[in-house]
Structure 1
Amino acid sequence: MRSLGIAVLAMAVLVFAWSPVAAQDASPAWSSADVSKLKQWVAAAPQDALPHIPTTELDRALAGGDAEKISAEARKIALRLAKMHLKGRASSAERQGWNIRDTDDEDSLGRMLDGALSGGALDTFFAMQRPAHADYSALRAAYGREADEQRRGVIARNMERWRWLPRSLGDDYVLVNAARFEAYLWRGGVQAGTWRVIVGKTSTPTPVFDTRIEGVILNPWWEIPASIVRESVGALVRRNPSLARSRGYVWSGGRYRQRPGPNNALGQMKLVMPNPFSVFMHDTPNKTLFEEDVRAFSHGCIRTGEALDYAATLLEGVRTREEVERIVASAETTRIDLAKPLPLYVAYFTAVDDGKGGIAILDDIYGRDRRIKALADGRASKAQFAAFGCDTKTGAQVW
């Protein structure tokens, strides 16, 4: 019943937020109960590994009894806090290399806030800005009970990463966690499959980005990247043409390719997933590497374990597994489009739900955690607060 109530209130907030009347009317006044609720959320911000926002000006307005200034200051604080919940608090330098598009519209926060005030739904307004994914909830719960400061820092960094994603990833999508060497398929809001993956070496890391899976190519040709041509293939073709041919390498029209076959670096399938990094999910002939715990061996692409099972699962409703197997056996290069393009997020999380009610801390193979400042909470020392760019008395982040 509680979740139903939240859903109803959320709908009311959204309806008000986008109504023409709401857009034209002045912002509602803040009652003492509204201000009290706001202060509760400000005080609770560290529970989400977010800094405390000073309320000095609001307190002065309250002491002076200036209703107009009270509403103005409360609104300013509420929008700042909501934006931190929705978008995070990291600088652009801390976000460097994070190429997943955030589609959440922060410009609508003001209208949503007005709707929440009018409907008595401030709690719902703020709760709606948190990442909706269950993994964020698990991290948040773990952050609250974790005593080890180093682990708390890692958990905080990963909570921040979740805020860089769209608040809701939708009901159907694929999420690759490069730090965990796994890919997850979600359908209808439920996790429907997990596959091991191999990601880029530390010298050629897999980038963080989002795209859409449009289809599957069975028995693919490999268009060999220039970097790999320079590294090995080009010299092999020039110096030992017969060996190069036996491995399927072909040079024609000014480009190097590899024919479909048992030696093809892409294996028996490759996803159609346009992106500016030329990074793809694909099969591999080297299956033994999937038994390794740390699977960082590629030039950046995402080699997928049980690749034909993965492809057949994506193609459910379009082709049966038997049809997929027959096409593979034919050795004919065949593209099959998904019934509907599927969002794909290639992300990087070093603190994850361990499936046992706890949190696993993973190796930061690409050294990306150190880019994100440890977020201040109530237990940090003055020296730590200063190092984080925070006010040493209030803990507030200095922007």
Structure 2
Amino acid sequence: MSRLAAALLLTAAAASGPAFAQLEKGEKPTAEQVASGEVPAAPISEAERALRALPAGMAAPNWTSEAARDLLAYVQQVGDEGLDAADYDPERLRDAIETGDPTALSAAATDTFLRVSSDLALGHVRGSARMDWHVGDQKDLNSADQLALMKRAIDNGSVHDSLNSLLPTHPQYAELKALLGTAKDKQLLDKVRTNLDRWRWLPRDLGHRYVIVNVPAYTVALVEDGQVIARHRAVVGAPKTATPQLVATATGVILNPWWEVPKSITPEVRGKKGYVSVKTPDGGVRYRQPPGPGNALGRMKVVMPNNYAIYLHDTPSKSYFKKPARAYSHGCIRTEDPLAFAAALLGTPEWDRAAIDQAVASGKTVQAKAAVATPVYITYFTTAALAAGEGIISYPDVYGRDSKVVTALNAKSGATEMASVR
């Protein structure tokens, strides 16, 4: 959750120190505390507490009853997005609307809007339930954007449309969402909700050209303007060396690459023929494998720097691509027909398939630059909707990650608990 939303959800005890913590416990303030202005003479209401937690310089939003009713209607229908209306305390907002107290209305509506907008833009499930997740999401909705969106929604009477503008644009999101109304089985319903939230974890718009790896489906796809222009089978990390979920940028490929042996695998290659030892600055030794038919990276490696040393590459072990379940690697994504994939990714006449084949045949290590840098999303979707509403396809939960997401989606958390996982 954004810092703004967290500030509204946390109590004044967290925002203002021990004196407010004293009030939270029901203790009366001392005369000295009241005189100094450290605490008010009487305990403050929930509404006042939320407004006091607003960042410095931020005026309390002027929610109208009409805008608040639109917000309440949205919350009551948020199940259409696979979320639970109860997580946004609609009763509190309804009570504030009915009482007509502007202070209570402002606090309740602001709190609700910030919670809902945060979950629509960034996903409801956070923290440890996003197992091995390494994608930053603040670009879609930071605190300043969230506040500006809320003010525009109130001023323009566009609460519903403003919240909808935060939803993922990928067709799979809308297609999965359409299945919610037809899913009768709770297990299937939970699976659809889990994967809807995973789409919200990703950037709202993946871009006009990108690579998407779906680990449970064992596939790599290159997408351009909404069309899949290349799809390849993949071998992904074994459960003990699971492929992490991340975003990197592919800038080209290396043909006939050297393999820099990771430290974790060094014991497996130490002393074996076909590896070159290199002294490290700290006096240790690392190993490299020169290009060749037996190179672990095969004939091609995608240049996509990231903190986890995860890459798309070729492999000499072609037989694994014939298996229905393909979780065998140390974490990287082995890609079938890698030279065809390289030609599609590079997207330049200078590096068409003939030029790539010629470079590979030379045996020399060559780095080919792509025409455009392309984001690579390594994802974990266990459910996909088929085209034209023709049903659903499920993939094996190869790393056992669905259960934590389902549990988090179904958990009933209070405001402070929700804030703590964001």
Q: TM-score, normalised by structure 2?
A: 0.78
Match of 2:115 among 67, 80, 87: 80
Retained in 1: the 8 A contact 2:62–2:106?
A: yes
Correspondence for 2:199:
162
Q: For residues 76-121 of structure 1, give each alpha carbon's deviation from its aligned partner in whole angstroms, at most 9, with x where no partner exists.
A: 2122111111122224121231111212223111211211222232
Of 279-288 and 187-196, deviating more is: 187-196
Q: For residues 299-341 of structure 1, give each alpha carbon's deviation from its aligned partner in whole angstroms, at most 9, with x where no partner exists.
A: 1111001100000011112522211111111111100121222
Correspondence for 1:361:
394
- After TM superposition, give the deviation of residue 228 of structure 1 in Å: 2.3
Aligned to 1:93, the other structure's residue is in SS state: helix
Structure 2 distance, partners of 1:213, 1:30, is 45
Retained in 1: the 8 A contact 2:69–2:97?
A: no
Correspondence for 1:313:
344
- After TM superposition, give the deviation of residue 148 of structure 1 in Å: 0.6
- After TM superposition, give the deviation of residue 26 of structure 1 in Å: 5.6
Q: For residues 109-153 of structure 1, give each alpha carbon's deviation from its aligned partner in whole angstroms, at most 9, with x where no partner exists.
A: 121121122223222201111122111112211122100111111
Correspondence for 2:74:
41
Correspondence for 1:292:
323
In the alignment, does 2:132 pair up with 1:97?
A: yes
| TM alignment of 1:230-269, pairs within 5 A | 230-231=267-268, 233-235=269-271, 237=272, 244=273, 248-253=274-279, 254-269=285-300
Q: Which runs of 5+ in 1 are unaligned?
A: 1-23, 238-243, 377-384
CA RMSD of aligned residues (A): 2.4
Match of 1:209 among 243, 246, 250: 246
Structure 2 distance, partners of 1:313, 1:32, is 54
In the alignment, does 2:158 pair up with 1:126?
A: no
Structure 1 distance, partners of 2:117, 2:172, is 20
Pairs aligned (count): 352
Retained in 1: the 8 A contact 2:72–2:93?
A: no
Structure 2 distance, partners of 1:126, 1:101, is 21
- After TM superposition, give the deviation of residue 375 of structure 1 in Å: 6.2
Retained in 1: the 8 A contact 2:131–2:401?
A: no
In the alignment, does 2:366 pair up with 1:334?
A: yes
Structure 2 distance, partners of 1:147, 1:56, is 28
Retained in 2: the 8 A contact 1:29–1:68?
A: no
| TM alignment of 1:184-199, pairs within 5 A | 184-199=221-236
Match of 2:307 among 249, 272, 276: 276
Structure 2 distance, partners of 1:154, 1:164, is 16
Partner amino acid for 1:101?
A: G
Match of 1:66 among 89, 101, 105: 101
Q: 4+ residue runs of structure 1 moved beyond 6 angstroms? A: none
Q: TM-score, normalised by structure 1?
A: 0.82
- After TM superposition, give the deviation of residue 199 of structure 1 in Å: 0.4
Cα–Cα, structure 1 residues 202 and 28, in superposed 2: closer, same or farther, change >3 Å? closer
Match of 1:137 among 166, 171, 174: 174
- After TM superposition, give the deviation of residue 174 of structure 1 in Å: 0.9
Q: For residues 157-203 of structure 1, give each alpha carbon's deviation from its aligned partner in whole angstroms, at most 9, with x where no partner exists.
A: 11111111111111111111111100111223433221111001111
Cα–Cα, structure 1 residues 206 and 375, in superposed 2: closer, same or farther, change >3 Å? closer
Cα–Cα, structure 1 residues 226 and 30, in superposed 2: closer, same or farther, change >3 Å? closer
Q: Which runs of 5+ in 2 are unaligned?
A: 1-56, 280-284
Correspondence for 1:13:
none
What's the % identity of the aligned pairs? 36
Aligned to 1:373, the other structure's residue is in SS state: helix
Of 137-146 and 367-376, deviating more is: 367-376
Match of 2:218 among 181, 185, 193: 181
Cα–Cα, structure 1 residues 358 and 398, in superposed 2: closer, same or farther, change >3 Å? farther
Cα–Cα, structure 1 residues 327 and 256, in superposed 2: closer, same or farther, change >3 Å? same
Cα–Cα, structure 1 residues 389 and 73, in superposed 2: closer, same or farther, change >3 Å? closer
Cα–Cα, structure 1 residues 59 and 121, in superposed 2: closer, same or farther, change >3 Å? closer
Correspondence for 1:51:
84
Retained in 2: the 8 A contact 1:157–1:375?
A: no
